[in-house]
């Protein structure tokens, strides 16, 4: 398994320079082709293209979007011009942007998207934020903090729980874990769970070894503030990338995930590779 194709979700009407720096590094690390995607949901009311036909955004929205998308494409091609394999897709949609990107993600092994901190975990409704994408894509998402412009995978931290989401995340992250020089797996538990957690982690270490990943797997006793514990461990390890399962069951814009997932995505100083 590898990340043979990466899809980069670019914003329109704003700079994507930092995100594209990470995308370029990821493409080089994994030897991947890159598909750039710019999409936006039209505002206001829509008109029918023809009687009984699909809803279409109005012409003035199309003109504005084409200008903004052309600028995003130029930025994409300038940043990734050294890559032999790249492609570009864009659309202005009457429906949610995450639906369009979810359909396009059939072409990708990994989707890379920016986060924008506390205020922008969910982008405005005309775009798709990391929360929308994680819930819809069926692909791992690499969430990039706004300040980050480079990607390294020397030090990987895996946030483990014995859940479907965590198992999915670790399997999806195998290319990154193989590329890392060191992988550390941490499960945060209460004291009564330590023995069971160690047995689970021993199984996980064996599974990772079969897939040529040597990992240090440790159970840590937490005080209830799991996200803070994991963030402190990531800082101590100088982690380049955090792997985590994304837990959530609804698409409420103000709260879509469990607190740990949301805090990691919002506050991590490094990239977070998450799966749902």
Select from 112, 69, 111 the least CA-distant residue to 89: 69
Distance of CA 185 to the CA centre of its chain: 19
For position 121, what pLDDT does the model report? 46
pLDDT per position as a tens digit, 144-194: 999 999 999 999 999 998 999 899 999 999 999 999 999 999 999 988 999
Full-model pTM:
0.88
Q: Is residue 150 part of a domain?
A: no
Q: Kind of pairing, strands 215-221 and 182-189?
A: parallel
Same domain, 75 and 161: no
- 162 by Cβ neighbours in 10 Å (0-12 / 13-18 / 19+) ranks as middle
Same domain, 197 and 113: no
Q: Which of the listed residues 117, 144, 171 is the one where a domain comes to its end?
A: 144
Q: Which of the listed residues 111, 144, 177 is the one where a domain comes to its end?
A: 144
Domain of residue 50, CATH code = 3.40.50.620
Same domain, 121 and 184: no
Q: Is residue 59 part of a domain?
A: yes
Same domain, 110 and 20: yes
CB-side neighbour CA atoms (13 Å) of 79:
27
Inter-residue contact 230 to 260 (CB < 8 Å): yes
Same domain, 133 and 162: no
Q: Which of the listed residues 144, 177, 194 is the one where a domain comes to its end?
A: 144
Note down the domain range covering 220.
155-271
Same domain, 9 and 140: yes
Same domain, 84 and 172: no
Same domain, 137 and 176: no
Query: Domain tally for the chain?
Result: 2
- 236 by Cβ neighbours in 10 Å (0-12 / 13-18 / 19+) ranks as exposed
Inter-residue contact 3 to 125 (CB < 8 Å): no
pLDDT per position as a tens digit, 190-210: 889 999 999 999 999 999 999
pLDDT per position as a tens digit, 54-85: 555 667 778 889 999 999 999 999 999 877 68
Q: Is residue 149 part of a domain?
A: no
């Amino acid at each position: 398994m590898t990340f043979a194709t990466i899809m980069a979700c670019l914003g329109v009407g704003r700079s994507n320079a930092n995100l594209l720096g990470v995308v370029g590094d990821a493409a080089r690390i994994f030897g991947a082709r890159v598909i750039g995607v710019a999409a936006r949901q039209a505002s206001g009311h829509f008109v029918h293209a023809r009687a009984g036909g699909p809803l279409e955004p109005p012409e003035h929205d199309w003109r504005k979007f084409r200008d903004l998308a052309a600028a995003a494409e130029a930025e994409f091609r300038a940043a990734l011009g050294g890559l032999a394999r790249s492609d570009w897709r864009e659309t202005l949609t009457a429906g949610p942007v995450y639906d369009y990107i979810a359909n396009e993600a059939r072409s990708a092994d990994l989707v890379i998207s920016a986060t924008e901190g506390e205020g922008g975990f969910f982008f405005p409704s005309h775009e798709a934020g990391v929360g929308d994408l994680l819930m819809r894509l069926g692909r791992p998402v690499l969430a990039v903090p706004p300040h980050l412009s480079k990607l390294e995978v020397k030090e990987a931290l895996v946030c483990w729980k014995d859940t479907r989401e965590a198992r999915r995340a670790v399997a999806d992250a195998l290319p990154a874990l193989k590329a890392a020089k060191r992988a550390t797996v941490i499960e945060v538990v209460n004291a009564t769970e330590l023995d069971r957690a160690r047995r689970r982690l021993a199984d996980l270490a064996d599974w990772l070894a079969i897939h040529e990943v040597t990992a240090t797997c440790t159970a840590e006793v937490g005080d209830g503030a799991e996200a803070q514990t994991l963030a402190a461990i990531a800082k101590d390890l100088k982690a380049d990338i955090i792997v985590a399962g994304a837990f959530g069951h609804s698409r409420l814009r103000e709260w879509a995930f469990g607190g740990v997932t949301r805090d990691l995505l919002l506050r991590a100083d490094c990239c977070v590779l998450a799966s749902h």
